[in-house]
Amino acid sequence: MLDTLTAALREVLPADAVITDPVRLRTYECDGLTYHRATPGVVVLPDTAEQVASVVRLCNEFAVPFVARGSGTGLSGGALPREDGVLVVTSRMRRVLEVDLPNRRAVVEPGVTNLAITEAVRDQGYYYAPDPSSQQICSIGGNVAENSGGAHCLKYGFTVNHVEACEIVTPDGDLVTLDRMDPGYDLLGAFIGSEGTLGIATKITVRLSRAPESVTTVLAAFENIEQGGRAVSAIIGAGIVPAAIEMMDALAIEAAEAAVACDYPRGAGAVLIVELDGPSAEVELQFARLKEICAGAFELRVAAGQEERAAIWKGRKSAFAAVGRISPAYIVQDGVVPRTALPRVLAEIDRLSAEHRIRVANVFHAGDGNLHPLVLFDDAEPGAGERAETVSGAILDLCIEHGGSITGEHGVGVDKARYMPRMFTDDDLDTMQLVRCAFDPRGLSNPGKVFPTPRLCGEVPGVRKGVHPLVESGKAEQF
Ligand SMILES: Cc1cc2nc3c(=O)[nH]c(=O)nc-3n(C[C@H](O)[C@H](O)[C@H](O)COP(=O)(O)OP(=O)(O)OC[C@H]3O[C@@H](n4cnc5c(N)ncnc54)[C@H](O)[C@@H]3O)c2cc1C
C-alpha cells in the first residue's frame, strides 16, 4: 500500500520532496525524546499548503496514517513517525508571509522558527512573546500543536494566548481557516494543543507584542531550595507578576556550569532568576520590593545590560542539554503543581531520589509551578533505566496528588499517553475522543498519541459497552 501511495506522492510533489532512502529516513526516527524510535514509511517535505493538502488527501485515499513534524524538538514523542505511514515535515515552509504592525499581527508558515518571528519585527520594537527554551530551533507549527510555553509565559500566557488564526489541512484533506473571531465554538482553541491529532497547521497568524520599555534581570542565590521557594511565594504574594521566575537546584547548576560555564554563585543550593519588565517607573518600584523580599539571598546579581542579561539566562536556557555533562542518560520530566505545593513536592522528589538511588536535577518555571525534574541514570548499569522510569512516573503521581497535571508544556505525545488514565476517567477520555472523531473520524492524523487506547469513531467507546450518553440522547452525533 505504501509503495503505491509513494508513487502517487511523487506525482503531486517535487522529486526531492519525497524521501524513501532508508538512511535518510532514519534522520526522522525520533524527536527530542530519543527513547521512542520508529523509521517512517516515507517522508515528505512539502513547500506549500496545497501540497500538504494533496498529501493528506492521498493518505485518505490509501487509508494510510500521517504524522506532522516541525523541527523535531518535542519532548513527548509527539512527532514519532509511523512505520506504516507518512511523515509530513514542514521545514521547507519557512516564509514570514506578512507583518502587520498596526494590527500587531504576523502571518507565518508553520516551519518558521519561534525566534525568527521576533527577529522579523525586533527592529520595529516588537516581539513574539511565548519563548520556549528551544526557540532558536522549534517551529511555530510545533508550538501551536503543543501549546508551548516558556520562561515568560507566567506574565504573558502560552501559545494559545498569542495565536489569532490558523489555516489547517483537516484530517480528510480540506484546507480551512480557524479564526479566533469566528462566532460559535472555539475550534481554534481546540486545535491549539491537539498535538497533531486534529490536522496540520499550514499558516499561522500570531499576535505581536510591544517590547517593554524597561527590563531588569536579577539572579538571586540561596543556600537551599526551600529559601528560594519561599522567595517565589513572597514575590507573587506581594502582587508582583514578573515576566519570569525560574529556579534551578544545586545539581542543575552543577550541570549548567560544566556545560556552558555560566558562572552562577559558588555554593548556591538554588538560584532564582527573576525578570521584571514594563514601564520604567513600575519596574523600579517592583525591583525595590524584590530586593527586600530576597534579603535572605547570599548574592544578588543585577544584569547591567543585554550582555549580562544573556549571561544570566545562559545557564537556565541550556539546562536540559547540560545534564548530559554529568550523566550518561536522563529523562526530562514535565509536570505541574500549584505554586504553594512546590516545597512539599520537591521534598518528596528528594525522598524518591534517595529511595531509588537515582539523582534528580530540578529546573522549573517556579512562577507557574511547572516542574522539569531531570531524572539522571547510567544506561549501562543494569536496572538503572527501570528505576529512573519508576521515579519519573512517581513524580507525575505526586503532581496529580497535589492537584496538578502530568504535563505543563511538553504535551502527552506517545510518552505520557499511559498516564492519562491517572488523571481522567474512561468517560472523560471517551468524551475527548468524540472531539477527535469530529475532526478525524478515520483516526489517520497522528494516531497512537495522547490517548492510551485510541479508538475509531465507529467503535464502541470505553467500558460503557454502549454508545456515548450524549449520542444516545441525540445531543451529539457519532460518525
Ligand atoms: C532543549 C529544549 C528545550 C525546550 N524548552 C521548552 C520550553 O521551554 N517550553 C516548551 O513548551 N517546550 C519546550 N521544549 C519542547 C519543544 O521544543 C516544544 O514542544 C516545541 O513546540 C516543539 O516544536 P517542534 O517544531 O520541534 O515540533 P515537533 O517536535 O516536530 O512536533 C511536536 C508535535 O507537534 C506536531 N506538529 C508539528 N508541526 C505541526 C503542524 N504544522 N501542524 C500540526 N501539528 C504539528 C507533531 O505532530 C508533534 O505532535 C524544549 C525542547 C528542547 C529540546
Question: Residue 463: pLDDT band by 50, 70, 90 thresholds?
Answer: very low
**Ligand 1 atom at minimal distance to the Cα of residue 168:** 42
Question: Residue 453: pLDDT band by 50, 70, 90 thresholds?
Answer: confident
Does the pLDDT at position 468 exceed 80?
no
Which of 66, 75, 114 has most ligand 1 atoms within 8 Å of its beta carbon, as the pocket-test mutant?
Answer: 75
Q: What mean pLDDT is predicted for residues 99-106? A: 98
> SS3 for the chain, per residue?
CHHHHHHHHHHHCCHHHEECCHHHHHHHCCCCCCCCCCCCCEEECCCCHHHHHHHHHHHHHCCCCEEEECCCCCCCCCCCCCCCCEEEECCCCCCEEEEECCCCEEEECCCCEHHHHHHHHHHHCEECCCCCCCCCCCEHHHHHHHCCCCCCHHHHCCHHHHEEEEEEECCCCCEEEEECCCCCCCHHHHHCCCCCCCCEEEEEEEECEECCCEEEEEEEEECCHHHHHHHHHHHHHCCCCCCEEEEEEHHHHHHHHHHHCCCCCCCCCEEEEEEEEECHHHHHHHHHHHHHHHHHCCEEEECCCHHHHHHHHHHHHCHHHHHHHCCCEEEECCEECCHHHHHHHHHHHHHHHHHHCCCEEEEEEHHHCEEEEEEEECCCCCCHHHHHHHHHHHHHHHHHHCCCECCCCCCCCCCCHHHHHHHCCHHHHHHHHHHHHHHCCCCCECCCCCCCCCCCCCCCCHHHCCCCHHHHCCCCCCC
**Ligand 1 atom at minimal distance to the Cα of residue 141:** 41
Residues enclosing ligand 1, CB less than 6 A? Answer: 31-32, 67-75, 78-79, 90, 110, 132-134, 138-139, 141-143, 145-146, 148-150, 195-196, 200-201, 320-321, 409-410, 446
Task: Give pLDDT, residue 27.
Answer: 95
Query: Which residue, by CA, sits nearest to atom 35 of ligand 1?
Result: 196
Q: What mean pLDDT is predicted for residues 422-439? A: 91
**Ligand 1 atom at minimal distance to the Cα of residue 75:** 15
**Ligand 1 atom at minimal distance to the Cα of residue 78:** 49
Task: Give the tens place of pLDDT for each residue, 195-227.
Answer: 999 999 999 999 999 999 999 999 999 999 889
Comparison of pLDDT for 466 and 428, the residue scoring more: 428
Distance 133 CA to ligand 1 centre (A): 11
Does the pLDDT at position 457 exceed 80?
no
Q: What mean pLDDT is predicted for residues 234-245? A: 94
Question: Residue 472: pLDDT band by 50, 70, 90 thresholds?
Answer: confident
**Ligand 1 atom at minimal distance to the Cα of residue 73:** 26
Distance 142 CA to ligand 1 centre (A): 4
Task: Give the tens place of pLDDT for each residue, 10-66.
Answer: 999 999 999 999 999 999 999 998 889 999 999 999 999 999 999 999 999 999 999
Question: Residue 174: pLDDT band by 50, 70, 90 thresholds?
Answer: very high
Does the pLDDT at position 446 exceed 70?
yes
Task: Give the tens place of pLDDT for each residue, 52-98.
Answer: 999 999 999 999 999 999 999 999 999 999 999 999 999 999 999 99
Does the pLDDT at position 380 exceed 60?
yes
Task: Give the tens place of pLDDT for each residue, 292-326.
Answer: 999 999 999 999 999 999 999 999 988 888 998 99
